[in-house]
């Protein structure tokens, strides 16, 4: 597997990525979310906190209307029951036909072979971005996760790959960034990753450069988590504080506290 | 469209509406809720905070038993999948036959024509109250929302219309009240409106005058939101604070801080 | 109905039960949860707070894979739709065949005869523990709840019975303990009982003595609720505080503040 050269992250990239996040607040894009039952409430609250307008139905009868009226689509494969699976097919077709960006979060594909297979089929249907952890990447890409393999996969699939971990990697194959913000306590709150992916969808709705959109979203989310953790006494208060932090993030905090390379 | 004269809101009305809210705490009515997947948890917590006992199943096999044992029914059309739709039919039939009050919240009917059609069918089945925003009202009533059209619609349908917005309007066609309490931050928390409608159902369970019940519920909810916003640092803490505020609301706060006309 | 003699609770039992709770943090067992739609988010957060790793799908296509990869299974009968019911059958079969402990929480069986019948069938399929309140016990066991009847039922069914109330009773028929910790405000937050049962599943995953596991779990949960109530201003902040308290519980607090006999 060949290691692809990546452009160094410039200050200008960082500025543009932050612009994308703040544009969500002014533009208020509609984000339709097919997400798992555990994450629905928190995801809706994360989107509202950053200024987006979420809708969350997974009913096959209604989903096409909702996606048609949305600016971006989130597809999260958690709690993948029959109705959700059916809804995903309709929603992705609608999004692709209407040229709306959509993002895939293949939760726990390493735990369920049928879910992994479904994720691979979806990956071929032009998601703007994939967000997943190392184990999920290995199940989707059939290679071990790493910076080089993520670059290659992004290039082959023509999508952004956002690989989450202690350090997040965001790559489109040509450009790659590492985000060192965040806090270990975030892993002790359910649906954190799912909600972060929803933020990627919100940024994709207002920023045509998909790599900048994903970078801005994951940076904002990690930094909000870091601010929240500084105030929290445990995972319960962290979940509350991160919503407050997302609603209150400003350009200066994002610029001065970003640890991105 | 004719403007109907409305009785001015008297101090006695306000007192009776507040009585209804506080009676929920002493009577602990059972409220069965068919509500969307995003709102289920927060709605149950709002009902528990005011002293009601929620049940939330949407399984068609069980719904009749639960509605039969309940004192009021909430029907919210968010995330309207097949099972929920089927459950709504059974539940409304059971409620109407058993003369239990039921309230309809036609969430996002302006975004989905099939959902709007279903809402119109349900509106003809004698809900005690309808709670919706201006866009949803336009989709259900097929006229633009306003005080006069809400009055007329309430009179025609023989139900209370609670029209939510920066100022809430509660009308039964003969009597109309405006509630100016509340806080803009409430719109940044998902399921706020849905939970407010659940509170209407709780008050309907303990107050035969449906207009007083709806008025008391929406006043209490808006005032709790106002108290919560005074303590909150963002939407995350607002959601927590509103539950605490609802549990701690007392007659004096309701009477002295109500901005109702 | 004969009253069975129970061993007195020794200090050694208490120490071992507390060991089981703390072992969850070091072992991080995987707990698969089939639970109701209202409780999914809070249950996942409770499990993460104590150090376990939850998964929550109820899709029949995936459930066997998830249970096969889990260390214990939670079956909660709330919002028992068709898909959940089908998932329960598959999951319990998988758990029994793989000799994984599973715990049953027959929520609201007193409100729905078909649900009660399903609970009786499941009780015959060797759950390690049953957690339920007095009304639910009466519906499952067809006798009124009490210490003697709980002992007898546990002995007959060869499972632990954890009877929740103002005082919790945990019995395997031979040994019985009463837990007096907790706070009345816990009843004003939805899914509290459901999440407590999930903690029983987590302790069963790391402790072979099922009675000790259930005792440790319910003690930790009640004590966390007590600590949380001391800081909370109402049910909203209680839900947040209990997650923080669970994550921060230590051996000394558990030992010194336990009111168990």
CA distances from B249 to B52, B223, B225, B255 (A): 14, 9, 11, 11
**What is the tens place of the pLDDT at every residue in B18-30?**
999 999 999 999 9
For residue A69, count other CB atoms closer than 10 A to its CB: 14
**What is the tens place of the pLDDT at every residue in B70-87?**
999 999 999 999 999 999
Place of tokens 């933020």: A199
Which of C38, C80, C81 is nearest residue B41 as measured by Cβ atoms?
A: C38
B257 band by pLDDT with thresholds 50, 70 and 90: very high
The verdict on a CB contact (< 8 Å) between C45 and A189 is: yes
Minimal CA–CA distance to A30: which of A198, A202, A209? A202
List residues of C whose CB lies inside 8 A of any B CB.
36-39, 41-42, 78-82, 84, 108, 111-115, 187-191, 232-237, 239-240
User: Going by DSSP bridges, is the β-strand pair B160-164/B168-171 parallel, antiparallel, or unpaired?
Assistant: antiparallel
pLDDT of C73: 98
**What is the tens place of the pLDDT at every residue in A97-126?**
999 999 999 999 999 999 999 999 999 999
Minimal CA–CA distance to A108: which of C53, C196, C26? C53
Count helices and strands (H / E) in chain B: 11, 8
Rounded to the nearest integer, the mean pLDDT of chain A is 94
The verdict on a CB contact (< 8 Å) between A41 and C37 is: no
Place of tokens 């998909």: A210
pLDDT of A1: 32
The CA distance from C13 to the nearest CA of chain B, in Å, is 36
pLDDT of A5: 40
Supply C37's token pair. Answer: 């739609």
Q: What is the DSSP string of B5-53?
A: P-BPPPHHHHHHHHHHHHHHHHH--EEEEE--TTTHHHHHHHHHHHT-E
Residues of C in contact with A112 (CB under 8 A): 57, 62, 65-66
A155 exposure class (CB count in 10 Å sphere: 0-12, 13-18, 19+): middle
CA distances from A59 to A213, A243, B61, C15 (A): 28, 27, 20, 50
Cα(B101)–Cα(B164) distance, integer angstroms = 20
Question: Residues with Cβ < 8 Å from A126, sequence gap 6 or more?
Answer: A96, A158, A159
The verdict on a CB contact (< 8 Å) between B38 and A48 is: no
- Residue pair B165/B242 in contact (Cβ under 8 Å)? The answer is no
B95 exposure class (CB count in 10 Å sphere: 0-12, 13-18, 19+): buried
Cα(B225)–Cα(B61) distance, integer angstroms = 36
The verdict on a CB contact (< 8 Å) between B44 and C81 is: no
For residue B12, count other CB atoms closer than 10 A to its CB: 8
A224 exposure class (CB count in 10 Å sphere: 0-12, 13-18, 19+): buried
Please determine, for residue B143, whether its predicted confidence score (pLDDT) is greater than 90: no
3-state secondary structure of C41: helix
Please determine, for residue B4, whether its predicted confidence score (pLDDT) is greater than 70: no
List residues of C whose CB lies inside 8 A of any A CB.
37, 40-41, 44-45, 48-49, 54-62, 65-66, 69, 83, 239-248
Cα(A250)–Cα(A99) distance, integer angstroms = 31
B8 band by pLDDT with thresholds 50, 70 and 90: low
Cα(C44)–Cα(A193) distance, integer angstroms = 14
- Residue pair B235/A49 in contact (Cβ under 8 Å)? The answer is yes
pLDDT of C93: 98
The verdict on a CB contact (< 8 Å) between C234 and B49 is: yes
CA distances from C77 to A124, C74, C181 (A): 38, 10, 26
Minimal CA–CA distance to C35: which of C63, C7, C61? C63
Cα(B214)–Cα(B203) distance, integer angstroms = 7
Identify the residue among B41, B49, B231 best suited for mutation to test binding to C, counting C beta carbons within 10 A and taking the highest.
B41
* Candidates 3.40.109.10, 3.30.460.80, 3.40.1190.20, 3.90.470.20; CATH matching B11-257: 3.40.1190.20
**What is the tens place of the pLDDT at every residue in A214-238?**
999 999 999 999 999 999 999 999 9
pLDDT of B72: 98
ipTM (interface pTM): 0.94
pLDDT of A144: 80
For chain C, domain boundaries: 11-257
Helices A11-27, A210-231: crossing angle, 10 deg rounding? 80
Across the range B151-167, mean pLDDT stands at 95
Which of A40, A69, A243 is nearest residue B236 as measured by Cβ atoms?
A: A243
The verdict on a CB contact (< 8 Å) between C38 and B37 is: no
Please determine, for residue A7, whether its predicted confidence score (pLDDT) is greater than 70: no
pTM of the model: 0.95
CA distances from B114 to A61, B90, B108 (A): 8, 19, 11
Which of C40, C60, C242 is nearest residue A38 as measured by Cβ atoms?
A: C40
Cα(C240)–Cα(A10) distance, integer angstroms = 40
pLDDT of A10: 83
The CA distance from A4 to the nearest CA of chain B, in Å, is 41
pLDDT tens, N- to C-terminus, chain C (261 residues): 333 344 567 889 999 999 999 999 999 999 999 999 999 999 999 999 999 999 999 999 999 999 999 999 999 999 999 999 999 999 999 999 999 999 999 999 999 999 999 999 999 999 999 999 999 999 999 888 877 899 999 999 999 999 999 899 999 999 999 999 999 999 999 999 999 999 999 999 999 999 999 999 999 999 999 999 999 999 999 999 999 999 999 999 999 999 999
Residues of C in contact with B61 (CB under 8 A): 80, 82, 114
Identify the residue among A58, A107, A112 best suited for mutation to test binding to C, counting C beta carbons within 10 A and taking the highest.
A112
Cα(A130)–Cα(A168) distance, integer angstroms = 13
**What is the tens place of the pLDDT at every residue in A84-101?**
999 999 999 999 999 999
Cα(C258)–Cα(C261) distance, integer angstroms = 9
Q: What is the DSSP string of B90-149?
A: HHHHHHHHTT--EEEE-TTGGG-HHHHHHHHHHHTT--SEEEEEHHHHHHHHSS---HHH
pLDDT of B7: 55
- Residue pair B164/B193 in contact (Cβ under 8 Å)? The answer is yes
The verdict on a CB contact (< 8 Å) between C42 and B41 is: yes
- Residue pair A106/A139 in contact (Cβ under 8 Å)? The answer is yes
**What is the tens place of the pLDDT at every residue in A139-172?**
999 888 877 899 999 999 999 999 999 899 999 9
**What is the tens place of the pLDDT at every residue in B192-205?**
999 999 999 999 99
Residue A38 — φ and ψ, nearest 5°? -70, -35
Beta bridge partners of C72: C31
Cα(A58)–Cα(A66) distance, integer angstroms = 10
The CA distance from A195 to the nearest CA of chain B, in Å, is 13
């Amino acid at each position: 597997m060949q290691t692809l050269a990546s452009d160094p992250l410039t200050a200008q990239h960082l500025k543009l990525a932050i612009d994308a996040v703040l544009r969500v607040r002014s533009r208020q894009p509609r984000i339709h979310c097919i997400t798992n039952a555990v994450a629905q409430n928190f995801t809706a609250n994360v989107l509202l906190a950053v200024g987006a307008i979420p809708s969350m139905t997974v009913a096959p009868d209604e989903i096409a209307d909702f996606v048609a009226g949305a600016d971006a689509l989130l597809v999260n494969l958690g709690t993948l029951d029959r109705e959700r699976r059916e809804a995903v097919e309709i929603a992705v077709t609608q999004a692709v036909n209407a040229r709306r960006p959509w993002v895939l979060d293949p939760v726990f594909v390493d735990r369920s072979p049928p879910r992994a297979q479904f994720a691979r089929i979806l990956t071929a249907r032009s998601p703007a971005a994939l967000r997943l952890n190392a184990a999920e990447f290995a199940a989707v890409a059939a290679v071990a996760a790493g910076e080089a393999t993520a670059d290659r996969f992004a290039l082959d699939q023509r999508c952004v790959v956002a690989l989450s971990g202690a350090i997040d990697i965001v790559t489109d194959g040509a450009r790659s960034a590492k985000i060192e913000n965040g806090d270990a306590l975030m892993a002790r709150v359910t649906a954190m990753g799912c909600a972060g992916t929803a933020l990627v969808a919100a940024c994709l709705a207002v920023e045509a450069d998909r790599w900048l959109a994903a970078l801005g979203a994951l940076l904002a989310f990690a930094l909000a988590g870091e601010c929240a953790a500084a105030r929290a006494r445990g995972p319960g208060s962290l979940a509350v504080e991160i919503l407050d932090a997302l609603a209150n993030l400003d350009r200066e905090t994002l610029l001065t506290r970003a640890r991105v390379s």
